[in-house]
Amino acid sequence: MFVNNVILPSKKLITVSPKESVKRAFDLIEENKFLSIPVAEGDKFYGAISKERIYAFYFEKSLDKKVLLEDFLVENVMKTDVPTISPLANIEEAAHFLEVKNTAFVAVIDEYGSFKGIVTHHAVFHEFTELFGVDKGKRIAVIAYDIPGQISKLSRLITENNGNIISFVVVDPKTATEVKEIVVRLKTDNYDEIVKRIKNAGFQVQ
């Protein structure tokens, strides 16, 4: 899935200009109960500003609160090393940035350098929840040896026994043995029989 499918478009975002006061940014963050907001102007992305960033700057510089909020600009305080990504990149790349870069969002920038929006933790979690089919149908977790044909064999067992597969996800359980965990969500009135047939075929059902 592409980043473009999970983007929060720039036109719908609450942003702040780099030339606005820190007070303006702080008020927007507080009013909307955000952790951070993008710093942008038109189609140009500059960075992000957060309460954490404002507080850190305040203590680092030993400033008077009124001076910080009214005399300093967003560009003096904002975080500029926000990771960016193309609208046509895979969502897995955005998830990787969110995990390792300690950032509230990833900025989406097109090939012309235009700011198109952001990808948030919530958007990624939602898509992966959909992928796993949480709260849909019934779940079967199967441990299988990592050899060719296992997935097609498992799929055939399910469909031949009146199971309608909603989602099919292969997970690496990080074990020393060469096995995979296959998580299946399915709709069926024949659940117990399907589990029995899977076990009889040599699979381990969690």
Identify whether residues 181 and 112 lie together within a single domain: no
Contacts of 121 (CB under 8 A, 6+ apart): 98, 104, 105
Look at 14 and 173; give whichever has higher pLDDT: 14
* Stated length of the chain: 206
Statement to judge: residues 144 and 102 lie in one domain: no
Q: What is the mean pLDDT of the chain?
A: 88
Q: Does residue 173 carry a pLDDT above 70?
A: no
Angle of helix 91-100 versus helix 121-132 axis, rounded to 10 = 130
Backbone phi, psi, residue 149, to 5°: 95, -10
pLDDT of residue 175: 58
- Domain termination residue (choose one: 128, 152, 177): 128
| pLDDT tens track for 84-108 | 999 999 988 998 999 898 889 999 9
What's the token pair of residue 63?
């400033």
Indicate whether this model's pTM tops 0.85.
Answer: no
Q: How far is CA 142 from CA 131, 132, 145, 147, 199, in A?
A: 17, 14, 10, 14, 9
- pLDDT band of residue 169 (cuts 50, 70, 90) is confident
User: What digits encode the pLDDT tens for the residues 27-58?
Assistant: 999 999 998 999 999 999 999 999 999 988 88
**36 bridge partner residues:** 50
Residues 158 and 193 in one domain: yes
CATH at residue 174? 3.30.70.260
Tell me which residue range forms the domain holding 57.
3-128
- DSSP letters of 100-151? HS--SEEEEE-TTS-EEEEEEHHHHHHHHHHHHTTTSSEEEEEEEES-TTHH
> Based on the structure, what is the number of domains in the chain?
2
Question: Do 100 and 183 belong to one domain?
Answer: no
- Residues 64 and 119 placed together within one structural domain of the fold: yes
SS3 66: helix
pLDDT in tens, 175-204: 555 778 888 888 889 999 999 999 999 888
Q: What is the pLDDT of residue 135?
A: 65
Give percent of the chain with pLDDT exceeding 70. 94
Query: Are 34 and 117 in a shared domain?
Result: yes
Per DSSP (E only), the strands in the chain are 8-9, 36-41, 44-50, 84-85, 105-109, 115-120, 138-145, 164-171, 179-187, 204-205
From the number of C-beta atoms within 10 Å of its C-beta (0-12, 13-18, 19+), residue 73 rates as: middle
Q: Is there a single domain that holds both residue 116 and residue 180?
A: no
Residue 174: pLDDT above 80? no
Do residues 115 and 162 both lie within one domain? no
Asked if 98 and 7 sit in the same domain, the reply is: yes
pLDDT digits (tens, 9 = 90+) for 109-134: 999 999 999 999 988 888 777 666 66
- How high is the pLDDT of residue 148? 82
CA distance linking residue 206 with residue 170, whole number of Å? 14
